[in-house]
Structure 1
Amino acid sequence: MMNIMGFLNLAEMGFSSVVAFALYKPLFDNDLASVGEVLSVFGYVYNRIGFIILICGAIIAVFLPGFFKGSGFSDEIIWATYFTYLTTTLLGFFVNYKEVLLAADQKNFIKVKTFNVVKIVKISTQILCLICVDYGVYGWLLLEFLFLSVYSIFINLQIKRLYPQLSSTARSGKALKDKYSFIYQKARQAFFHKFSSIVLQQTGGILIYMYSNLSMVTRYANYTLITSSIYTLLSSVFDSTNAAVGNLVAEKDDKKILSVFWELQVSRYWIATCMVYVTYSTIDLFISVWLGADYILSFDIKIILMLNLFVMLTRKTNDEFISACGLFKDVWAPIAEALLNISVAIVAGNLFGIVGIPLGMLLSTLLIIGIWKPVFLYREFIPEKKRYYFLRVFKYILVSLGSIFIAEKFPVLYLYSGNKYFDLLSLGLEKTFAIFTISWIVYYVVALEMRRFTKRFSTMIRNKLFA
């Protein structure tokens, strides 16, 4: 269902990232009139996209029972689940479109806090519903819709409170669309980047279903659920700097741009190293505790998934600067990435089985995200020679590998008790402490950028605590 929703979201065409780019300058200049106009155009476009998704979604619904034939679920549950997901998806296009303003104005923490509070209460209530109500699945779906509706109300109230003088309506956006025609131009370019992202995220399960069965899709999805949750969590943290990067680009201070760029890079390589190592060390035990040992995937698939996670986490800095500069014109790159991903996945799937599916994603992201994107960013914006980027990144990778090697040699204090929950917690805490401490020390010693980042971060914490 989520794969299908992902492809329907392709109709969004990347407008949200383009609008965030369009908002940086008026927000920097405190021009609320222009901010309101941009949001009005965005609302008008998003409403139209919402209607397209609604029509396409209704057509797809006719064929759903055939797609899930043999799954053991009734047609009623399939349709109820699908229309719940479709309705909650449409909320973003008809109701929640203004939340892009929070991300552009360095207030994304408000959105994240509101969403996570609602999500925690929602999941807790859904658990009680499944336990206590005879028709728990339908209750679970109803709560999914109700709580996301509550989130929509809260976030719009927050925006109204923060920007009481802001005036914007989707209806007025139609008259303004010619004035902001550059948004459409950038969006056409961003569409291809959005398309590539959807292909990378959504085709894995479908291709595995082609080469195996729904049971294997489920086992694979359990692992990707964990890695995607980690990516989503860290993205929420990393995205807090999006608007700051937008302001930095607007200032046009080359020295400051380079300093911040490399502080962000080194911090994300450090955090990515730690999170990937901890995930690699504990994911099999987590799956065993959660679902049972039968759901553990092979070692080679796990390694490829961890490498994919590392690449996706370390790409964020380049993506931020590309988005802040509105650099979406390399439309060939996402097309090549998507084609390469699917081609390698199909060929490797035939040769090696399901291990070839994530291999396609890894190869395409390494070539396009790991090599082309920094070359493109440096050519268009970063005031530094390209070779310095790759030399520094190579140094970071060596530091990360060295840190993992030392952490693996670290004396094991793992306290085996026989209680699977305690054992998982004990192993997780030990691996987390070891890799975060060791890798920070090594990065701090060999990388000036890490020392600058540590100083900046500690100063920020002190100011927060003693303000």
Structure 2
Amino acid sequence: MLLLITTFLSRSVFIKCLGEDFVGLTSAMMNIMGFLNLAEMGFSSVVAFALYKPIYEKDQSGINEIVSVFAYIYNRIGWIILLCGLALVYFLPEFFKDSGFENRVIWATFFTYLITTLLGFFVNYKETLLAADQNNFIKVRLFNIVKISKVVVQVLCLLYLDGGLYIWLLLEFSFLSVYSLVINLKIKKLYPDLVSSVKSGRELSRRYGFIYTKAKQAFFHKFSATVLQQVTGILIYVFSNLATVTKYTNYTLITASLYTLLSSIFDSTNAAVGNLVAEKDSKKILRVFWELQVSRYWIATCMVYVTYTTVDLFIAVWLDKSFVLPEDIKIVLMLNLFIMLTRKTNDEFISAVGLFKDVWAPITEAVINIGVSVAAGSYLGIVGIPLGTLLSLLLIIGIWKPVFLYSEFMPQSLGQYFLRIFKYLFISFSSIVFVEQIPLHVLPIDNPYYVFINMAAQRTLEVFLMSGLIYFALAAEMRSFLKRFKRR
């Protein structure tokens, strides 16, 4: 929550002091870095999957070997990204020729993000062990502390020291370097018996050939996720300008923050699901699956509804009314957010079982995403760009992924899955209809902050209570989920 508050407050300062175009430039650079990260090929998720068994069996030798193999793989990937990044340097001025920035600004921004990206491959590869060992909260805590500190210092430099964009970029690099140092010291303290090296990883790589096999399959899933996250900002720049990228990114920052917030609550279950799968208890697997599923649908319903009803007010208060996007774009973004918030349970179980072989699915998802975004963007403007994302999510994430998971692993019929999902959607829709009938109580105070806070508080309380009661009454798994908390 502190990170989200800091991020939103600082963005208004960054836009005011650095300009819409520079903020749009940094967003575009992060999109480019996202595509360079395709070289990672999904190895991190595969290695986490490979670590579940030795961690469960407390096999320190196996853990050391897998982390060493990962160090070797990430070292090679880091060099590939560096070479690709250096090759891109030549084309950047031409790509951003209409941005109004000098080449040195473009290059300085690019190299800042390139170097901080490379830290993850050459220095921070051991973080995967924290995630696999149900200690990811340690990484999140340290990263958030460093990021909050970085943003606060950047804001102070811009407001009181007349720090320009070069100081802003220097701080971006410096604080992430500090994080790399701190996280490695913490891992060394937590795992004193962990011994890993690139050299031993190279020697062991043949013994763990299955990691490469799985990674080849996972690459296509990584590719699809990257397209989903990064291509939209680039296409908006192509069809519009950097200022529009900034406006659109303001909304996606909100949706991404909500996604991050829910992930902060539920991501601790990733390794727990891996441990659950290792136990091979079908009844327990099914019970936990539906408890996670119903809880996410409930929370996603509330988050999306409150965001839809208050996001324009928030943008106006946060930045200015001129940053508010049209209603049709907002609707598409909210639908995308709902699918993203509710997809995680299927993703967790697919990853825990190591089901990456449906390589055609992410390729199809990426093709649909880009194809529809370009075509619809040409005819409808920027509202058509997130439409490509929506269609690809509906077809691949909403339909295919559960079909794949159930056909390969889950001890239940696919028909029962979709019946429950349709029931959840009916409950969510009914809850929103009921809440919409409740009149808002707003005092005649002409203050935008009061109007936003009042409306957000009322709608949040109403939708959480209404949907929670209906889910509790109609879904046994919701009652089981709440009983689990009561027992804890």
Same fold, TM exceeding 0.5?
yes
| 1:191-231 deviation per Cα after TM superposition (whole angstroms, max 9, x unaligned) | 00000111111111222233333332222222112112221
Q: Distance in 2 between matches of 1:310 and 1:347?
A: 24
| 1:241-279 deviation per Cα after TM superposition (whole angstroms, max 9, x unaligned) | 000000000000000000000000000001111111111
Q: Following TM superposition, by how much is the alpha carbon of 1:430 offset from its aligned partner in structure 2, in angstroms?
A: 1.8
Q: Following TM superposition, by how much is the alpha carbon of 1:400 offset from its aligned partner in structure 2, in angstroms?
A: 0.6
Q: Distance in 2 between matches of 1:152 and 1:360?
A: 36
The structure 1 residue matched to 2:104, chosen from 76, 91, 108, is 76
Q: Following TM superposition, by how much is the alpha carbon of 1:287 offset from its aligned partner in structure 2, in angstroms?
A: 1.2
1:161 aligns with 2:169: no
- Give the secondary-structure state (helix, strand or coil) at the position aligned to 1:72: coil
The structure 1 residue matched to 2:153, chosen from 117, 122, 125, is 125
Q: Distance in 2 between matches of 1:32 and 1:246?
A: 18
Provide TM-score, normalisation by structure 2. 0.92
1:44 aligns with 2:72: yes
1:112 aligns with 2:112: no
The structure 1 residue matched to 2:487, chosen from 426, 436, 459, is 459
- Give the secondary-structure state (helix, strand or coil) at the position aligned to 1:455: helix
Corresponding residue number in structure 1 for 2:402: 374
Q: Distance in 2 between matches of 1:74 and 1:135?
A: 18
Letter in 1 for 2:134: Q
1:331 aligns with 2:394: no
- Give the secondary-structure state (helix, strand or coil) at the position aligned to 1:318: helix
Percent identical among aligned pairs is: 67
1:250 aligns with 2:278: yes
Matches within 5 A, 1:261-410: 261-410=289-438
Q: Following TM superposition, by how much is the alpha carbon of 1:416 offset from its aligned partner in structure 2, in angstroms?
A: 5.4
Q: Distance in 2 between matches of 1:144 and 1:221?
A: 19
Letter in 2 for 1:136: G
Q: Distance in 2 between matches of 1:283 and 1:193?
A: 31
Corresponding residue number in structure 1 for 2:48: 20
Q: Is the 8 A contact 1:18 1:187 kept in 2?
A: yes
| 1:32-70 deviation per Cα after TM superposition (whole angstroms, max 9, x unaligned) | 110111000001100110111111111112222222223
Letter in 1 for 2:141: K
Q: Distance in 2 between matches of 1:419 and 1:60?
A: 48
| 1:402-424 deviation per Cα after TM superposition (whole angstroms, max 9, x unaligned) | 11111222231234533333332
Letter in 1 for 2:126: K
Q: Distance in 2 between matches of 1:326 and 1:363?
A: 26
Q: Distance in 2 between matches of 1:152 and 1:314?
A: 32
The structure 2 residue matched to 1:172, chosen from 200, 206, 211, is 200
Q: Distance in 2 between matches of 1:257 and 1:14?
A: 25
- Give the secondary-structure state (helix, strand or coil) at the position aligned to 2:355: coil
1:189 aligns with 2:217: yes
| 1:366-405 deviation per Cα after TM superposition (whole angstroms, max 9, x unaligned) | 0100000000000100000000000000000011111111
Q: Is the 8 A contact 1:43 1:169 kept in 2?
A: yes
Corresponding residue number in structure 2 for 1:228: 256
Q: Is the 8 A contact 2:369 2:388 kept in 1?
A: yes
Q: Is the 8 A contact 1:416 1:423 kept in 2?
A: no
Q: Is the 8 A contact 1:414 1:430 kept in 2?
A: no
Letter in 1 for 2:409: F
The change in CA–CA distance for 1:157 and 1:218 in structure 2 (over 3 A counts) is same
Corresponding residue number in structure 2 for 1:139: 167
Structure 1: state its 5+ residue gaps: 461-467
Q: Is the 8 A contact 2:38 2:226 kept in 1?
A: yes
Q: Distance in 2 between matches of 1:167 and 1:245?
A: 26
The change in CA–CA distance for 1:73 and 1:414 in structure 2 (over 3 A counts) is farther
Corresponding residue number in structure 2 for 1:465: none
Query: Which 10-residue stretch deviates more, 348-357 or 265-274?
Result: 348-357
Q: Is the 8 A contact 1:81 1:141 kept in 2?
A: yes
Corresponding residue number in structure 2 for 1:216: 244
Q: Following TM superposition, by how much is the alpha carbon of 1:102 offset from its aligned partner in structure 2, in angstroms?
A: 0.8
Q: Is the 8 A contact 2:440 2:455 kept in 1?
A: no
RMSD: 1.3
Runs of 4+ off more than 4 Å: none
Q: Following TM superposition, by how much is the alpha carbon of 1:76 offset from its aligned partner in structure 2, in angstroms?
A: 2.3
Structure 2: state its 5+ residue gaps: 1-28
Letter in 1 for 2:472: Y
Q: Distance in 2 between matches of 1:414 and 1:451?
A: 34
1:93 aligns with 2:84: no
